[in-house]
Amino acid sequence: MQSSPPPRPPHRKPFWRRFVRGLWEWPLAALILFEEWGWEPLQRAMARIGQWPGFRWIGRWIESLPPYGALALFALPTLALLPVKLLALFAISRGHALLGTLVIVAAKVAGTAIVARLFTLTQPALMRLGWFARNYARWTVFKERLLAQVRASRPWRAARVVKRRMGRWVRLLKRWLSRD
């Protein structure tokens, strides 16, 4: 009777492949984390603004758009902010690094707020486009897998520990300051 060969260790990708993959995954993960961090609060802020007199009809109009109209409107903030970001890069190239960086950050925050609100309003129409719904499902799976990888990483776990400790320190400081 012939014995089977010993089990092989799990195959790991070569270092260079993991390194190259990390070059694009970590910046993408940072961008996604920023979007995730800002998406909900910024969307809520935009929803509150949308309830102001004179703005309610805009939300109703956006919700009534057909799928491709919703898609065009959803792409509009990206196209509108591109010249602003290019001007910011021009300012950086001319030695105004702080100004250019602040403009890029402000454009990113404003863009995230607008896109978050627009997506909330247009999502039902967009999901009626078969190709959009399929790709959105794929994107969601990819994003969750990437974020799980980041959250399992040593730097992320260390940052969470620091955040918890800072939170405790802030609470203790508030208690100490509130004593008469």
- What are the tens digits of pLDDT across the range 102-111? 999 899 888 8
Task: Please check whether residue 6 lies inside any domain of the structure.
Answer: no
Residues 124 and 134 reside in one and the same domain: no
Q: Helical H runs in 51-96?
A: 56-63, 67-93
Q: pLDDT band for position 74 (50/70/90)?
A: confident
Highest mean pLDDT among 52-56, 91-95, 116-120: 91-95
d(CA 15, CA 64): 51
pLDDT at position 127 is 95
Residue 10 DSSP one-character state = P
Q: Is the per-residue pLDDT at 128 higher than 80? A: yes
Task: Please check whether residue 12 lies inside any domain of the structure.
Answer: no
In this structure, what token pair is assigned to residue 8?
């092989």
Show the CA angle centred on residue 108, arms to residues 103 and 110, nearest 5°.
95
Residues 99 and 136 reside in one and the same domain: no
Q: How many CA atoms lie within 13 A of 172 on its CB side?
A: 6
pLDDT at position 180 is 62
Residues 53 and 116 reside in one and the same domain: yes
Among candidates 110, 122, 113, 107, which has minimal Cα distance to 43?
113
Highest mean pLDDT among 19-28, 71-80, 121-130: 121-130
* Mean pLDDT of the chain, nearest integer: 84
Residues 143 and 110 reside in one and the same domain: no
State CA 114 to chain mean position distance.
13
Report, as an integer, the average pLDDT of 85-111: 92
Residues 86 and 140 reside in one and the same domain: no
Range of the domain at 118: 23-128
Percent of the chain exceeding pLDDT 90 equals: 31
End-to-end distance of the chain based on CA atoms, in angstroms?
Answer: 85
Residues 53 and 120 reside in one and the same domain: yes
Q: Range with the lowest mean pLDDT among 15-24, 58-67, 110-119, 151-160?
A: 15-24
Q: Is the per-residue pLDDT at 129 higher than 70? A: yes
Residues 31 and 71 reside in one and the same domain: yes
Task: Please check whether residue 150 lies inside any domain of the structure.
Answer: yes
